[in-house]
Structure 1
Amino acid sequence: MNMAGKKKGVTPVQPPSARPAYSDDTLAEVMRSGRDTSGRILDTIMPRYLLEDKDMSILIAYLKNLAYEYSPGIDNYNINFATIITDEVHVDQVEAMMKLLESFVTSANKQQVDYEAQLVKLRETRREPTYRRVKLSRWLLKGPPGTWQSQLETYYRKEPVFALIGGITSKSWKPVHEFSEAHMLPCILPITDFPVVSATDWYTLYFSKGYFQEGEAAASFLASQDQDIKSKKIVQIVRNTPQGQALSEGFMQGLNDKVVPLPSTIMVAPNESLDGESLKRLLDKEKPDILALWTDDSLLRAFMEDSVPIELPATLLISSGYFGSKIWSIPEKMRSAAYITYPYRLPQDESRYDRLFTSTMKQPNSDEIRRIKSKTMASLRVLTQALKEMRGDFFRDYLFDTISMMQDLELPLYERLSFGPEQRYASKGCYVVQLSKGEKPDLIKKSDWVIH
């Protein structure tokens, strides 16, 4: 006669015997040999780590710092996110981002409702939470950046979140970046041209280094094209704005180990204009072989003044980010000398994604609105894939660990978004292009995508 609770022919699984707690030494031993403190041999599915003492101590320190409770913003039924918007951003740009974020929330919560309904139909109860209800808060930051920190602290005290997703500003992201670092709060792909460029900070994943990356790419392009670059006279005209300063900083850092001496810098005040005569005197004095124009398009007028013939340098560097749509107005007489940094997929190649941006409005999306939508789509793709692969292990550091293991993504706007351990800038490339001839020019590649 069988004992109650047993099935004939089935041997019940015995739980492992109790073992003494691990010390650093015994934990190192079990990870190396697979033998625990009670002498039991662990299953072969458990990897063995044949590490030197120094590396083993680092691994043990890492294990000790792993969280054993869910991160803030998570419980068994809900996961809370926030997105950050600063008050100077145009309403159309905010709407372009928010519509996609809100659509993501609606879709995610529908999955949760459908899952619960399926459990009811099957007369089952939920053992482990598979779907959580998603909540997205909008944190609006008002006033100068110096006041953002206190506003963020107020929002966070009232409503802790698991991560920041997207977000948009035309200003520097630095106050938000520092807030994320202080609270160990992941921030996934905010829309900003002014990220913090750091090799050590951890908690913000950016699309790129922004304007800094254009300047850095220009420097790498020069070095790759001209073996004799150290003998060339390089001058940069820098408008004293955040855009000009970031371009100049990236350019100078990129040239730091390639050029001696470093380029001469001519600063131009934010609202200062140079006429043709002033520009001619400047160029006659400096006689640059290479001239970097880290300004907006207003300086083009000085080059185009017929009354003051200006001899162009052999190479003219221009930022498409700073010029914007005005790159298309560069006159033909300058095009053979003008090399333009372009941090996105070229327009003629990007057209294959047009179907994603069909609008119900009569007016098509502007380039800026389309870029905001592209970036928001990318941030949601990364977040959705990461949450799926986390399989309910909702710890903030593990979110970044999961993202770092993702394969490269091919999405609208960027040629490639790539991830890896401790990498915090997903797009690492930038084209250098020239304009073709004619009234409706194309962009012609003069470099590969990854050039720095």
Structure 2
Amino acid sequence: MGILIARLAGAALLSAGWLLGPAAACAQVPVKAPAVAAAAAGERIYRSGVTRDGTAIRGVGANGIVLQGQEAACAQCHRPSGFGTAEGAFVVRPITANDLFQERAPVAASPRIAHQLGKPQRPPYDDASLARTLRSGVDMRGEALGALMPRYGLSAGELRDLSAYLHTLGAPPPEGVDDRDVHFATVIQPGVPASRRAALLAVFDAFIRDKNAAVRSEPARRSAGAMRMQRAYRRWVTHVWQLEGPPDGWGEQLERFYRAQPVFALVSGLGDQDWTPLHRFSERRRLPCILPQTLLPAAALPNRYTIYFSDGIILEAEGLARHLAGTLALGRVTQVYRGGDPLAEAAAAALRRALPSGRIELADQVLGDDPRPERRLGRQGDIATVVWLDGGQLASLSPAPEVPVYLSGSLAPAAPPGWERSLLVTRWDTGDAHERRVRRVRDWLRARAIPDGEEAVQVDALFALSMVGEAMMHMLDSFSREYLVELVEHNVNVTVLPSMYPHLSLGRDMRVAAHEVYVSGETEPVSASVAAAGP
């Protein structure tokens, strides 16, 4: 209860009709540009609850609850986008520049639609009236704000800073959006097999073709009836950003791509190398990256803008650790991997971190580049062997027959000949439930004459595109990168669309959606990591 109150109590200007809903934030009327320094200081107040000199702000609700610092920050309830949210019976209204400071005359193609869009519920705020409301808890019409809305004792300078930032919040359309088009990019790391790259791009081409074909009729539907949804009729334009060379050069390549054509968001993407350079680029550019297909996400870094399907091969290692701890007796487990393989080394390190100490001893067997590998994997007296090798590497080896052997589904999606008795650890299920779930995607692919193959890439690429499509629909014409992330965060929990993962869920500010692994031969998943929330 305390957490719920703390979040809701930060809802600046919560009730009493103080603001209009998100659909009203469509009037992109220019506002006076504030000083950069003041807006930056105001952003710290808005997002973190900290003033220029590092002092935590303080807010007091009508019910006496005192909040400080992060808990008192506007973004706690109005979200980083400024478009608000809802939790139970409480609705947090938008406080973007267009919602606060504009006289929002409805923009409509006909009187009928103008009537449905409604009229402004109050005059626009200015700096003085905003300051009075924040300090007194009384809106411009003389009505008290909601009881959970704090009253802020901000100084005149701090109020100017906050107002300066609010004048920028959602006011100009972000880069990558113009009057006609909205631009997206998908990023592909070096070394991705041609078959996986082709599978991804075939789904992109078909989805965008369908999307843009439907958009052609939307203006006519709007003028003919009461269409409020998808009022932002933009053509989707996609760009393929193919990276080259070693990771230390990817940041500059991404910057060159972006400077040549800014995009609104990155969607899906492929790569089995460390996603950290792309993650850092997204944070630096404040650019959403929605559901990339990567085995090495940078999920431990500060994260506002990248939503991952899972922790990739790290999830497999953490789930396997929990499985081993719950099923094996005391003893030693040997994990086998090839030195110099980043994926295998990351998985081995994660398993070592996640295994509880005291019950199971974990030993490493590191294979070199010798074409004549060791004949025996593991050691005499082991209770299990964990193998972090791909199918090609496994083909020249033989498992130890007397102990359980675990293989990584990320590295070896199917056990090669001779390894059929091994246990496969995977990030998604198999069997009838999986077949039923992906059947809809197979039908979609078949209807568009997209060849079979690389099904995991196809299913999750379509899911990522569909998530962005749903978010853009609900966004109407309130283009905001932060709002896009917030909508995807919400929609992942409620969509009926299929992905390879049977369970996807995101809490507030969480950025990793899947937390289960499956061990072949078992019907129930193993719950592994719970992703850390973003800042």
TM-score, L = length of structure 2: 0.65
Match of 1:342 among 426, 433, 443: 426
Distance 1:270 1:420, change over 3 A: farther
**Partner-residue secondary structure (3-state), 2:502:** coil
Counterpart CA distance in 1 for 2:234 and 2:121 is 34
Give the alignment partner of residue 292 of structure 1, picking from 379, 382, 386.
386
Does 2:534 match 1:418? no
Structure 1 CA distance for aligned equivalents of residues 343 and 121 of structure 2: 66
Tell me: CA distance 1:404–1:51, structure 2 relative to 1, closer, same or farther (3 Å): farther
The residue correspondences of 1:62-211 to structure 2 (distance < 5 A) are: 64=166, 66-118=169-221, 129-198=231-300, 200-211=302-313
- Residues 152 and 322 from structure 1, CA distance in 2 versus in 1: closer, same or farther, beyond 3 angstroms? same
Cα separation, 2, equivalents of 1:263 and 1:270? 23
Q: Distance in 2 between matches of 1:387 and 1:151?
A: 28
**Residues 111 and 131, structure 1, Cα contact 8 Å, conserved in 2:** no
The structural deviation recorded for 1:111 is 3.1
Amino acid paired to 1:294: W
Deviation at 1:327, TM superposition (A): 5.0
Residue of structure 2 in register with 1:450 after alignment: 527
Is 1:401 matched up with 2:490?
A: no
CA distance in 1, matches of 2:263, 2:213: 21
Residue 147 of structure 1 aligns to a residue in which SS? helix
Distance 1:13 1:210 in 2: 48
Gap change, CA 1:48 and 1:137, over 3 Å in 2: farther
- Deviation per residue, 1:108-166 (Å, 9 max, x gap): 323332122345668x9x9x953222211222222222222111111111211110111
Structure 1 CA distance for aligned equivalents of residues 471 and 185 of structure 2: 17
CA distance in 2, matches of 1:17, 1:391: 22
Counterpart check, 1:326 vs 2:415: yes
**How far apart, CA to CA, are the structure 1 residues paired with 2:273 and 2:512?**
18
1:225, 1:217 → 2: CA distance?
12
How many angstroms does 1:275 deviate by?
Answer: 3.6
**Secondary structure at 1:321's aligned position in 2?**
coil
Residue 81 of structure 1, CA deviation: 0.9
Give distance in 1, aligned partners of 2:120 and 2:256. Answer: 52
Q: 1:365 aligns to what SS in structure 2? A: coil
Q: 1:267 aligns with which of 337, 348, 366?
A: 366
Distance in 2 of aligned mates of 1:373 and 1:409: 18
**SS of the residue 2:171 aligns to:** coil
Asked if structure 2 preserves the Cα contact closer than 8 Å seen for 1:408 and 1:417, the reply is no
Residue 354 of structure 2 corresponds to residue 251 of structure 1: no
Amino acid at match of 1:283: R
Tell me how far apart the structure 2 counterparts of residues 18 and 201 of structure 1 sit (CA, whole Å). 33
CA contact (8 A) 1:223 1:258 kept: no
8 Å Cα contact 1:76/1:129 also seen in 2 = no
Q: Distance in 1 between matches of 2:370 and 2:487?
A: 46
Matched, 1:384 2:461: no
The structure-2 alpha-carbon separation of the partners of 1:409 and 1:215, relative to structure 1 and needing over 3 Å to count, comes to farther
Deviation at 1:180, TM superposition (A): 0.9
1:386 CA drift (Å): 1.2
Q: Distance in 2 between matches of 1:375 and 1:17?
A: 44
Q: Which runs of 5+ in 2 are unaligned?
A: 1-118, 530-535
SS of the residue corresponding to residue 270 of structure 2 reads coil
Q: Which residue of 1 aligns with 2:134?
A: 27
2:336 paired residue among 217, 237, 241: 237
CA contact (8 A) 1:290 1:316 kept: yes
| Residue 389 to residue 327, structure 1, CA distance change in 2 (3 Å) | farther
Matched to 1:312, the amino acid is E
Summarize the Cα distance change of 1:259–1:66 in structure 2 as closer, same or farther, 3 Å threshold.
Answer: farther
Q: Match of 1:393, SS? A: coil
- Give, in angstroms, the shift of residue 413 of structure 1: 1.9
Equivalent residue, structure 2, for 1:7: none
Structure 1 residue 432 corresponds to structure 2 residue 524: no
Which of the two has higher C-alpha Rg? 1
CA distance in 2, matches of 1:363, 1:120: 35
Kept in 1, the 8 Å contact 2:395–2:417? The answer is no
Helix, strand or coil: the match of 1:372? helix
Code of the residue aligned with 2:426 in structure 1: it is Y
Superposed CA deviations along residues 235-272 of structure 1, whole A, max 9, x for unmatched, are: 222222122112212212222x4546762222222555
Output the CA distance in 1 between the equivalents of 2:127 and 2:450: 70
Report percent identity of matched pairs. 23
Question: Given residue 367 of structure 2, which amino acid in structure 1 is its aligned partner?
Answer: V
8 Å contact 2:273–2:343 — kept in the other structure?
A: no
Select which of 374, 379, 400 maps to 1:283: 379
The residue that corresponds to 1:218 in the other structure is 320
In the TM superposition, what is the alpha-carbon distance from 1:16 to its structure 2 partner?
A: 4.4
The structural deviation recorded for 1:354 is 3.7
State the TM-score, normalizing by the size of structure 1: 0.75
Matched, 1:49 2:138: no
Measure, in 1, the Cα distance between the counterparts of 2:447 and 2:210: 21
Q: Does the Cα contact within 8 Å between 1:252 and 1:262 map onto a contact in 2?
A: no
The 3-state SS of whatever aligns with 2:256 is: helix
Distance 1:200 1:13 in 2: 39
Pick one of 444, 447, 455 that aligns with 1:370: 455
- Superposition CA RMSD, Å: 3.7
| Separation (CA, whole Å) in 2 of partners of 1:13 and 1:236 | 65
The offset of 1:423, in angstroms, is 1.7
- Partner SS, residue 423 of structure 1: coil
Asked if the contact 1:84/1:168 (under 8 Å) is kept, the reply is yes
